[in-house]
């Protein structure tokens, strides 16, 4: 599980940074990729990356401001030309379906794969037993949502040495034990999963927040998260400006991560007044003064999601 940032700027693109889009690569977990927001130019950034649109399974839109979704119609219409024929689901606030259908309809774009559009107002959006995705409303000029991605715990490793003593080789019995089923082996012995499985591997939690002022739901969504991705549009010296425009400062992002007992904080969605990486360093220093395990998102840099334990 890895983050790949395709855009880290707020509002408008600059030469240095594109507007918001975050890829979550789940190659080991489900051989797919999820996308969070799709600002203008996202498909161009994907072409410059190791990411493949053919693996794109889900898109989550935080809110309907242009810097978070103007790249969506182009990406959807181009996906099939890059081998993307599997079904794709797009989640987002009410109004998303009208935007997509109107854009694709007027441009007579042809989508030759199943496209599902799910509008929501928060709650549990998806749960397949491997991952659960929840959403909650934040505090922005329009409805803006954060997403909490919960990876379910995985069964512990099988004690192969013990299984070999019972004459059990890799095969269907291994699968049954991993699924929590008891099995009967030679001699009428009943093996229970807890007899041969190690401790479960704790699943990770990822929180990706849309544009927001500080609000209770940032902490609710980020509670005990392995990684929190939080906007940090301004330095705290511009806290009044951040409040006026319904955004957060780097310091406020760090306060939310600390209050939520998160493991790591990644800052993104930077104002274009901070021209380059050097000018972003003060935002990182500000966040680290409250929450030491903070990082700056950088475009075209892979950031692995840490394992737990």
| Residue 43 in this model has a pLDDT that exceeds 70 | yes
| Residue 197 in this model has a pLDDT that exceeds 80 | no
Over residues 167-185, mean pLDDT? 78
Give the active site residues.
67
Give percent of the chain above pLDDT 90: 79
**Per-residue pLDDT tens over the stretch 54-90:** 999 999 999 999 999 999 999 999 998 888 899 999 9
Rounded to the nearest integer, the mean pLDDT of the chain is 93
Given pLDDT bands bounded at 50, 70 and 90, which one contains residue 170? confident
* pLDDT score of 309: 64
Closest Cα to residue 262, out of 287, 235, 237? Answer: 287
CA dist., res. 300 & res. 36, Å (int): 15
195 is in an annotated binding site: no
**Per-residue pLDDT tens over the stretch 264-298:** 999 999 999 999 889 999 999 999 999 999 999 99
143 is in an annotated binding site: no
Say what the pTM is.
0.90
| Residue 49 in this model has a pLDDT that exceeds 70 | yes
* pLDDT score of 165: 75
Given pLDDT bands bounded at 50, 70 and 90, which one contains residue 199? confident
67 is in an annotated binding site: yes
* pLDDT score of 228: 98
* pLDDT score of 284: 98
* pLDDT score of 81: 83
- In order of their start, the domains of the chain are 2-154+201-304 (3.60.15.10), 160-196 (no CATH)
* pLDDT score of 154: 80
Cβ atoms within 10 Å of 1's Cβ, excluding its own: 19
* pLDDT score of 44: 96
Over residues 154-171, mean pLDDT? 77
120 is in an annotated binding site: no
């Amino acid at each position: 599980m890895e983050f790949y940032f395709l855009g880290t700027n707020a509002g408008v693109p600059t030469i240095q940074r594109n507007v918001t889009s975050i890829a979550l690569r789940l190659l080991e977990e489900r051989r797919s990729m999820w996308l969070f927001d799709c600002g203008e130019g996202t498909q161009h950034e994907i072409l410059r990356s190791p990411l493949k649109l053919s693996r794109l399974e889900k898109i989550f839109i935080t809110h309907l401001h242009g810097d978070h979704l103007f790249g969506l119609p182009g990406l959807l219409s181009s996906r099939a030309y890059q081998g993307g024929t599997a079904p794709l689901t797009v989640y987002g606030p009410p109004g998303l379906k009208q935007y997509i259908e109107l854009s694709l309809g007027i441009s007579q774009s042809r989508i030759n794969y199943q496209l599902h559009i799910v509008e929501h107002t928060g709650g549990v959006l998806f749960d397949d037993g491997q991952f659960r995705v929840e959403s909650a409303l934040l505090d922005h000029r329009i409805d803006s949502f954060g997403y909490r991605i919960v990876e379910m715990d995985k069964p512990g490793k099988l004690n192969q040495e013990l299984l070999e003593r019972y004459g059990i080789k890799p095969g269907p019995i291994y699968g049954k034990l991993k699924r929590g089923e008891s099995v009967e082996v030679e001699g009428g012995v009943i093996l229970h999963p807890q007899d041969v499985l190690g401790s479960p591997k704790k699943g990770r939690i990822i929180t990706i927040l849309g544009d927001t002022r500080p609000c209770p739901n940032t902490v609710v969504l980020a509670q005990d998260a392995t990684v929190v991705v939080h906007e940090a549009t301004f330095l705290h010296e511009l806290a009044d400006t951040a409040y006026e425009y319904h955004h957060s400062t780097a310091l406020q992002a760090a306060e939310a991560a600390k209050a939520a007992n998160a493991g790591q904080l990644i800052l993104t969605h930077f104002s274009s007044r901070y021209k380059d990486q050097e000018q972003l360093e003060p935002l990182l220093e500000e966040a680290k003064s409250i929450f030491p395990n903070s990082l700056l998102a950088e475009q075209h840099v892979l950031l692995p999601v840490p394992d737990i334990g």
